[in-house]
């Protein structure tokens, strides 16, 4: 059986600067993949390359066999890959519900994720539906950003640094929604700086350093030392 998302030999550049060096990864339906790594490792660039925002200069990205790396960002979203960007990027002048409905513009046909289902996933968004999105707490805004991406009914949901700046209790609340998202048939890729959190939610973990994947495996098979080496490149202590 071929993978849902297959990334092969992906390279990406910002001008002359090469940020990704031949990245390979596969994601199957029902999987949650975590990408971990220090600042500047290339995690965000990888998400941006998959979604057509960063310039792909080599390799390929296939969704169910369909070539994405030659498409523009809006086409990739239509094809079924949606991203929750770092910093959420909500529309500040719109309400919570308007932000969610904007996500639906990218959907193709019918699908599991509807406004009532987003409200069931994050009930606070039902209560706050008429509030300006920016009046919500950071965690609630993150829920809107996830809901907006889900409204496109993606086959793959890419989440960049969901936990950034949020309290542990809020992070737990957000990650508690993951099983329901996976059960809906949407596979997930999370970029996470919190290694513990990544190991908890992921079926597979990839560690990145300097634009390359330096370690991959199931959380249970990855030792602390191996992760440390792959993350920092050197063993300390």
Residues that bind ligand ATP (CB under 6 A): 14, 17, 19, 37, 39-45
**Nearest distance, CB of residue 211 and ligand ATP, angstroms:** 7
Residues in the chain: 237
Cβ nearer to ligand ATP, comparing 98 with 194: 194
Cβ nearer to ligand ATP, comparing 14 with 112: 14
Strand order in the sheet with 81-84: 81-84, 156-160, 187-191, 32-36, 204-209, 212-217
Cβ nearer to ligand ATP, comparing 3 with 164: 164
**Nearest distance, CB of residue 207 and ligand ATP, angstroms:** 11
User: How many other CB atoms sit within 10 Å of the CB of residue 152?
Assistant: 23
Closest C-alpha among 155, 218, 211 to residue 39: 211
In the structure encoding, which two tokens stand for residue 194, read together? Answer: 């919190």
Burial profile 121-141: b = 16 or more Cβ within 10 angstroms, e = fewer? bbebbeebeeebbeebeebbb
Cβ nearer to ligand ATP, comparing 31 with 163: 163
Q: What residues are paired with 156 via a beta bridge?
A: 81, 187
In the structure encoding, which two tokens stand for residue 180, read together? Answer: 């329901």
**Nearest distance, CB of residue 101 and ligand ATP, angstroms:** 29
**Nearest distance, CB of residue 6 and ligand ATP, angstroms:** 21
**Nearest distance, CB of residue 199 and ligand ATP, angstroms:** 18
Cβ nearer to ligand ATP, comparing 18 with 26: 18
């Amino acid at each position: 059986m071929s993978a849902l998302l297959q990334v092969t030999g992906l390279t990406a550049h910002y001008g002359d600067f090469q940020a990704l060096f031949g990245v390979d990864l596969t994601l199957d339906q029902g999987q949650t993949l975590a990408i971990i790594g220090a600042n500047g490792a290339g995690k965000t660039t990888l998400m941006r390359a998959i979604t057509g925002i960063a310039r792909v200069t080599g390799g390929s990205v296939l969704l169910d066999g369909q070539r994405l790396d030659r498409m523009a960002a809006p086409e990739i979203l239509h094809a079924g890959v949606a991203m929750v960007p770092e910093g959420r990027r909500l529309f500040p002048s719109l309400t919570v519900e308007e932000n969610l409905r904007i996500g639906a513009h990218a959907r193709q046909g019918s699908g599991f994720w509807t406004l009532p289902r987003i409200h069931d996933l994050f009930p606070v968004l039902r209560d706050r539906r008429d509030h300006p999105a920016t009046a919500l707490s950071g965690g609630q805004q993150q829920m809107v950003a996830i809901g907006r991406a889900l409204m496109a009914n993606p086959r793959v949901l890419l989440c960049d640094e969901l936990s950034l700046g949020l309290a542990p209790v809020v992070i737990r609340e957000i990650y508690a929604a993951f099983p329901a998202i996976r059960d809906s048939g949407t596979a997930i890729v999370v970029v996470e700086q919190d290694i513990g959190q990544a190991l908890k939610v992921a079926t597979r973990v990839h560690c990145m350093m300097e634009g390359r994947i330096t370690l991959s495996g199931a959380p249970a098979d990855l030792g602390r030392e191996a992760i440390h080496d792959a993350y920092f490149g050197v063993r300390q202590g």
